Each structure stands twice: as C-alpha cells, then as structure tokens.
Amino acid sequence: MKGAMAAAALIPLVALLFSVSSAYPALSTSGQLDPHFYDDSCPKAQQIVASIVGKAHYQDPRMAASLLRLHFHDCFVKGCDASILLDSSGSIVSEKRSNPNKDSARGFEVVDEIKSALEAACPGTVSCADILALVARDSVVMTGGPGWIVPLGRRDSRGASVQGSNNDIPAPNNTLPTIITKFKLQGLDIVDLVALLGSHTIGDSRCTSFRQRLYNQTGNGLPDNKLDVSYAAALRPRCPRSGGDQNLFFLDPVTPFKFDNQYYKNLLAYRGLLASDEVLFTDSPATAELVKLYAANQDIFFQHFAQSMVKMGKISPLTGANGEIRKVCRRVNHN
C-alpha cells in the first residue's frame, strides 16, 4: 500500500525534476565533466536516480538533507570521488569514522539501492561519485529548491582519508576565518560559502554539535552572545549540559523540510543553530551582506546556490583512466 502510494507520488516529482532541469542552461562548462556523459552508455541513469531519491524522500522526509550533505562531505575530502562511501576493509579506514561523519552521516542505504539499480540497467558504467552529485541535485529539487544541470563523468577513488575528513571538512565551532580558509583550499570563495551554507535550511543537527553555545561558549561559563536568548532557552531542555548528545534539532525550525531562504532570515534574528551558521552574519561585513541579500531575495539565493553546487561538484574529480567505476559503492573493485 505504502509502496503503491510512493510510486504514484513519484511521477509528478520526476516530471518536476526534469522540467526544472531542462529549463536551465548549463551553468558553466567543465574541462573534464560533461552533463551528457551517460547519454549513450546509460540513457536512463538520471531517471533511475531521481525515482529512487523520490521514494526515499517520501519514506523519510529528512533523507533529502542527509543525501545533500553526503556530496559535500565527499567533495571536501580529496575531491568528489565517492571516498566517503567506502566501508573499512583491508588497508582502508572508512571516512564514516571521522568526527564530522560518525553518528551523523546517513543515507548510505539509499545510495546502495541506486547503485544496484544502475548496475542492473548498465553494468560498470555510472560512478558512485556521479550518483552523489545527482542525488544532491534531486534532493534540493524535491524539497522545493532550484534545479541545475549536473556535469558528469567522475570516477571513484580506490582509497579513503579519515584524516582528510577530520581536517578538511569545517567544524561547527570553527571560527569564520578558519571556515573561509577551508573553503578557499577547495577553490570556493565567500559567495560559495554563504550560498552553500543555505543547505542548512533543511535537515537536523545533534545536540552535541551546538551544546557549547548554550552553556559555555568561550570558557567564561556564559552562553554564546550571538544566540537569541529565547531560542537558547527553548533548546536547553533537550540539550542539557550532559547527556542527550544524539538528540536531534531542526537546523531551520521554521520550515524544516522546505528548501527556501528561511535559513538566512533565522541568522538575521540570531537564530542560527550552529555557531558556524551565525558567524556568517555576525563576524564579517562581507558575509553579512550576502546573508542579508539572500534573506531578502530567494531567487538570487537559488541562482548562487545552483552555481556553487556545480562548482563544489567539480572539486578534483578523477577522470579518464584515473580511479575506477565501483560495482558496489561501499568497496573498491579489487582489494
């Protein structure tokens, strides 16, 4: 029954996705990646991905957020090469063990289901890294955000870097200069930073990722003075001084499942959940101007977001004869 309803609900989602995508021109051309990469070798690839993302989104409204985040956590660690998807085995230590991913990154079963369907349709053809890029776009579209054309042709890594995952992905208590530096190291500027952080308009955070703000932000025993007092009070019961580490909170409690510009409106009201969110508004005039722009104009936010997602998706891809097309996203082909 639920399955039949999911299938019925999917058709308009898939139709929406393709009408939105084809209405947009390619945002920029890449030297190596090409939106038409699978046109001949796996013409149904994008439909297969979209239909499984649609089903997963229907079954779990948080899943779109979790899938979007996987592409970010993949691309920031040695490029968009699906390294985040590898489980530990042999010499590989899984990035799933890193601080940013442990007890937090999710959606791997959805990626597995997509990969099985693609292997059945076109064996050994569509990379896990491209699946993550497509899934990120579909997740944004299905929650009401912008569409964009996804450049394709990434290949998959033969290794992982738990150290890279710990060091290169920004932490929620990093200072704004540190965050800006970590984005710059990936070739991303402050427009990319402020636009991409708009992803926090959907999805959840655990208490442990922002607790420090509620009680002792700077070591003086006081809460973060960049956090609205009544919002902090509302967060404390389920995020006590100790315990409740894994309790979940919406990153955007106003419209938690809608991809919109509410995140930026929250920042203007000192209601960003993570310290790393609020500092975009409080700690630099340049980023604050962008926060105000996106809070006032959702269309510009959507345009910049789509452009920056394409840019993030081009971080150091493996192409040509480099890497491989994994058969199963959780392991390398020969190990």
Ligand X SMILES: *[C@@H]1O[C@H](CO)[C@@H](O)[C@H](O)[C@H]1NC(C)=O
- DSSP letter at 34 equals B
Residue 216 binding partner per list ligand HEM, ligand X, none, with a CB distance cut-off of 5 to 8 Å that depends on partner kind: ligand X
Q: Could you confirm whether 73 is annotated as catalytic? A: yes
Strand 204-206 with 248-250, pairing: antiparallel
Residue among 42 and 209 whose Cβ is closer to ligand HEM = 209
Residue 219 lies near ligand X (rule: CB under 6 A): yes
Q: In the set 21, 143, 161, 205, which binds ligand HEM (CB under 6 A)?
A: 205
252 is in an annotated binding site: yes
Residue 226 binding partner per list ligand X, ligand HEM, none, with a CB distance cut-off of 5 to 8 Å that depends on partner kind: none
95 is in an annotated binding site: yes
CA distance 295 to 286: 15
CB of 277 to ligand X, least distance (A): 15
Instruction: Name which of residues 67 to 86 contact ligand HEM (CB under 6 A).
Output: 68-69, 72
CA distance 99 to 90: 21
**Which distant-in-sequence residues (6+ apart) come within 8 Å of 167 by Cβ?**
none
Residue 67 binding partner per list ligand X, ligand HEM, none, with a CB distance cut-off of 5 to 8 Å that depends on partner kind: none
Amino acid making up residue 316: S
Residue 243 lies near ligand X (rule: CB under 6 A): no
Chain centroid offset of residue 80 CA: 12
Q: Which of 36, 57, 71, 73 is catalytic?
A: 73
CA-CA distances (angstroms) from residue 301 to 157, 158, 218, 247, 283? 32, 36, 32, 30, 20
Q: With CB under 6 A, what is the number of residues at the site for ligand X?
A: 5
Half-sphere exposure of 91 (CA within 13 A, CB side): 5
CB of 173 to ligand X, least distance (A): 4
Question: Which residues are part of the catalytic machinery?
Answer: 73
Residues lying near ligand X in the complex (CB under 6 A) are found at 171, 173, 216, 219, 221
